[in-house]
Structures are given as structure tokens and as C-alpha cells.
């Protein structure tokens, strides 16, 4: 099985630069630097600039690889967005050219790069327009996952994955606001989760140091707690409550934005991640789950939809008919899946 050594190196370097960008943007973010997209969700200068940086670095290393990225530059190309566009270009160039120190080897082509023009950076954002599909190599970029958490100063994640023939091979999740070790808060914040199919999962610091292999522990029933979204619109809190009570879980759920939830699950901070749709019609996006799914699987866990089916990353930009997500260690997963089925039947009977 390929170890995807070069892909991993480039991907970690890209996420590292993007994390530095998003952390520094947060401290300077002003009101008119956030737009509302067509689906009413927020997007900030940080989302755009981070996608530009990651896409540029991927293009340098793998010019033929298509990219499925969350953001596009259509709005930025409008004359009325000139101020925001200039800011994004400046941020992206700063992130692409800054010295990051140890671990940022120039020899891999991932060290400080050249400044890019506005046209090049807008085109880099728009290279994320690939439709996805069942065959070939493609990257997914979610430059800021959990934009709402980012805006609240809480958890968010810079997420990147490599998918080959619909199978996730590499997943990287950068979490600048996450404690490196909740048991040792003095080690500070900032974690990058890294997984390569067949080669395990680990976490490193934002500088790529202190690698720690990740393995989901076995949980006693009394130690089980759920990880879930902060946003009730993204996943049903009431359904999770019902599942918890069916499983006699007494611990309160841990609410957290973004794929930081998958990272926490992979290292044993929480026993299960349950994401049930709040309404009909929303289709989960592949960039919201591909890095997390490979991370949890490589840490020994199981990730399925709410019916127990595999997540299908080969259907395009979304997960298609996959309904909800259940991620957990093997034993907990099968118990949660049973309870989800029971709660689902109860809900149907009531409707
Ligand atoms: N109605 C909905 N149902 C489920 N997920 C949704 C949703 N609306 C938006 N999302 C997704 O939820 C992601 C955040 O997940 P979480 O709630 O776990 O933090 C968002 O990612 P972005 O923040 O990258 O846009 C977005 O893609
Ligand atoms: Mg978004
Ligand atoms: Mg997202
Ligand atoms: Mg996003």
C-alpha cells in the first residue's frame, strides 16, 4: 500500500501555512470581511485566502490533480468586492512567502514560495471547482471547516484530503484552537491530525513536532459521551438526546464545531460522533467528512451513515444519499447504530 509520503508532506505543509493564516486573520478580522453565501452560511477573508494558499501549494506539487474545494471566487471577481479581494490577496501572499521555521523543507517544494498575482490567486481558489466522481485522484479542501466556530473564537479546522478512486487515502485536519493534550493544558493549543490509509493516524503540533500515534480506546459504558455540532441546524440535538437515553448515557454531550470532533474521537476525547440531519434535502459535503473519516478509521474506528452503510466519496461533491454520520470505536459504533435505528423507528411511528 502506498505510503503517499510526498502527498502527506505537501498536505501537512499546506495545512500548516493555512492554519497560521487563519489564526492571524482571526485577531484582525473586521466586520466587513465576512460575506453571506447563497445558502445563508458565512464565509470570511480567511476561508478564501486559506483555500488560495492550499490550492497554490497543491498545484506546485501536483499540477495535474483536480481539487474539490468548498469556496469559489465568483463573488470576489465582482467590482464591488475589490477591497475584500485585495485583503485576501495580501493575506494569501503573506502566508505563501513567510518563513515558518523547522519542518518546512524547501527541498519538498513546500517551503516559502513566490508571491502570486491576484489573477493567479483567484484562479487558485477556482481550481476547487472539480465536480468529484468515482475515479482518479482528487483533493478536497475545506479551508475553514466550522466557519461559525471560527467567528465565535471557538473550534474550527483546516481540512484537506486526497481521494483516489473514491477511497480516502490521506486526511489532514489542522485545529489551531484545540488543546494539544486536554490533560496537559500547559502544552498549549494547536494540533494537526494526520492519517494515511493503512499507515495509521497521529497528531503533531502546528509546527509538525511531537508526533503521537492515535488509537481509539475501549470505553466502559459509564464513560461514553457523544461529540456533536454546536449548531442545532447542522445536526439534530434532540435525536442525539434520545439515542443517549436509549443507551443510558449520563454524560452530557460535548459540543464542538468542525472536524475537530473527528480528531477528538480519534484520540479518545469523547466516544462517538453522531450527526443526524435536521431536515430533508441537505446533502453532506465530501470535504466535511473525508479527512475525518480516514482519521477515525486509521485510529481503529468505524465511520458509516446512520443506516450502517459506507460513506460514498465517489458520487460527486456531496455524499449523495448517505443519511447522517455515525463515527466511533468498533464496539461503541455497533451499539450506537442499534440505538439510532430504534430512535429512527420511534420517530417514524410518531410522524
Ligand atoms: N443544514 C445543514 N446540515 C448539515 N450540515 C450543514 C448544514 N449547513 C451547513 N452544514 C455544514 O456543516 C459544517 C460545519 O459542521 P459542524 O456543525 O460540525 O461544525 C459546515 O462547514 P463549513 O463551516 O466549512 O461551511 C457546512 O458545510
Ligand atoms: Mg462554509
Ligand atoms: Mg465544512
Ligand atoms: Mg468551510
40-44, 96-100, 251-255, 313-317, range with the lowest pLDDT: 96-100
Task: Give me the interface pTM, i.e. the ipTM.
Answer: 0.99
Q: Give the pLDDT score at 118.
A: 96
Percentage above 70 pLDDT, the chain = 96
Q: For ligand 1, is residue 145 a contact (CB within 6 Å)?
A: yes
**In this model, does residue 108 exceed pLDDT 50?**
no
Whose C-alpha lies nearest to ligand 1, atom 23?
A: 146
**In this model, does residue 29 exceed pLDDT 90?**
no
pLDDT band at 105 (very low <50, low <70, confident <90, very high): low
DSSP-derived secondary structure letter, 77: G
Q: For ligand 1, is residue 228 a contact (CB within 6 Å)?
A: no
* Torsion, CA 51, CA 228, CA 268, CA 319, rounded to 10: -50
* pLDDT tens-digit series, residues 277-316: 998 889 999 999 999 999 999 999 999 999 999 999 999 9
Task: Find where cell 442499534 sits.
Answer: 338
Q: How many CB atoms lie within 10 A of CB 350?
A: 6
pLDDT band at 164 (very low <50, low <70, confident <90, very high): very high
**In this model, does residue 80 exceed pLDDT 60?**
yes
Q: Please check whether the domain covering 221-350 is classified as CATH 3.40.50.2000.
A: no
Q: For ligand 1, is residue 81 a contact (CB within 6 Å)?
A: no
Strands 226-228 and 272-275: parallel
Whose C-alpha lies nearest to ligand 1, atom 3?
A: 234
Cα 141 to Cα 53, 158, 307, 340, distances in angstroms? 11, 8, 27, 30
Q: Which ligand is nearest to the CA of 39?
A: 1
Homologous superfamily of the 5-213 domain (CATH): Fructose-1,6-Bisphosphatase, subunit A, domain 1 (3.30.540.10)
Q: Give the pLDDT score at 104.
A: 62
What CA–CA distance (Å, rounded) separates 334 from 145?
A: 28
Residue 318: φ, ψ to 5°: -115, 170
Instruction: State which of 173, 234, 270, 325 you would mutate to test the pocket of ligand 1, scoring each by most atoms of that ligand within 8 A of its C-beta.
Output: 234
**In this model, does residue 96 exceed pLDDT 80?**
yes
Judged by DSSP in three states, 32 sits in helix
Q: Global pTM?
A: 0.97
* pLDDT tens-digit series, residues 316-347: 999 998 889 999 999 999 999 999 999 999 99
What CA–CA distance (Å, rounded) separates 138 from 285?
A: 14
**Pair 211, 50: CB distance under 8 Å:** no
Q: Give the pLDDT score at 99.
A: 81
Q: Give the pLDDT score at 106.
A: 46
Q: Is 144 annotated as a binding residue?
A: yes
Q: Is 305 annotated as a binding residue?
A: no
Q: Give the pLDDT score at 33.
A: 86
* pLDDT tens-digit series, residues 233-269: 999 999 999 999 999 999 999 999 999 999 999 999 9
Q: Which ligand is nearest to the CA of 36?
A: 2
Give catalytic residue positions: 47, 147
Cα 129 to Cα 70, 139, 321, distances in angstroms? 8, 11, 21
Mean pLDDT of the chain: 94
Domain coordinates of the chain in residue numbers?
A: 5-213, 221-350
Task: Find where cell 486573520 sits.
Answer: 25
pLDDT band at 351 (very low <50, low <70, confident <90, very high): confident
Can you give the length of the chain in residues?
351
Q: For ligand 1, is residue 146 a contact (CB within 6 Å)?
A: yes
pLDDT band at 111 (very low <50, low <70, confident <90, very high): low
Query: Residue 323, exposed/middle/buried by CB under 10 A (0-12, 13-18, 19+)?
Result: middle
pLDDT (mean) for 33-45: 90
If we measure between CA atoms, which residue out of 132, 134, 137, 214 comes closest to residue 173? 214
Amino acid at each position: 500500500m502506498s505510503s503517499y509520503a510526498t502527498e502527506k508532506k505537501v498536505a501537512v505543509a499546506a495545512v500548516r501555512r493555512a492554519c497560521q493564516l487563519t489564526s492571524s486573520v482571526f485577531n484582525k478580522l473586521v466586520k466587513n470581511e465576512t460575506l453571506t453565501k447563497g445558502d445563508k452560511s458565512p464565509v470570511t477573508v480567511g476561508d478564501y485566502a486559506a483555500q488560495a494558499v492550499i490550492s497554490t501549494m497543491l498545484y506546485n506539487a501536483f499540477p495535474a490533480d483536480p481539487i474539490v474545494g468548498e469556496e469559489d471566487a465568483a463573488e470576489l471577481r465582482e467590482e464591488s468586492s475589490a477591497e475584500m479581494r485585495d485583503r485576501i490577496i495580501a493575506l494569501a501572499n503573506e502566508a505563501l512567502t513567510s518563513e515558518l521555521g523547522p519542518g518546512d523543507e524547501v527541498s519538498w517544494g513546500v517551503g516559502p514560495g513566490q508571491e502570486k498575482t491576484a489573477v493567479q490567486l483567484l484562479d487558485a481558489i477556482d481550481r476547487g471547482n472539480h465536480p468529484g466522481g468515482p475515479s482518479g485522484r482528487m483533493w478536497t479542501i475545506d479551508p475553514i471547516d466550522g466557519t461559525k466556530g471560527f467567528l465565535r473564537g471557538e473550534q474550527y479546522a483546516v481540512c484537506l484530503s486526497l481521494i483516489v478512486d473514491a477511497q480516502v487515502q490521506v486526511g489532514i485536519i489542522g485545529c489551531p484552537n484545540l488543546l494539544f493534550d486536554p490533560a496537559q493544558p500547559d502544552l498549549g493549543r494547536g494540533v494537526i491530525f494526520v492519517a494515511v490509509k493503512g499507515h495509521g493516524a497521529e497528531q503533531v503540533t502546528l509546527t509538525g513536532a511531537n508526533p503521537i500515534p492515535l488509537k481509539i480506546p475501549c470505553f466502559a459504558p459509564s464513560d461514553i459521551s457523544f461529540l456533536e455540532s454546536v449548531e442545532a441546524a447542522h445536526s439534530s440535538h434532540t435525536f442525539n438526546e434520545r439515542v443517549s437515553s436509549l443507551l443510558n448515557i449520563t454524560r452530557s454531550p460535548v459540543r464542538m464545531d468542525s472536524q475537530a470532533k473527528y480528531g477528538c474521537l480519534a484520540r479518545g476525547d469523547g466516544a462517538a460522533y453522531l450527526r443526524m440531519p435536521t431536515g430533508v434535502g441537505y446533502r453532506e459535503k465530501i470535504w466535511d467528512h473525508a479527512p475525518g473519516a480516514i482519521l477515525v478509521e486509521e485510529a481503529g474506528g468505524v465511520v458509516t451513515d446512520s443506516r450502517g452503510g459506507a460513506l460514498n466519496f465517489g458520487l460527486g461533491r456531496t455524499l449523495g444519499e448517505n443519511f447522517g454520520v455515525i463515527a466511533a470505536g468498533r464496539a461503541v459504533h455497533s451499539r450506537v447504530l442499534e440505538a439510532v435505528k430504534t430512535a429512527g423507528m420511534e420517530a417514524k411511528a410518531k410522524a
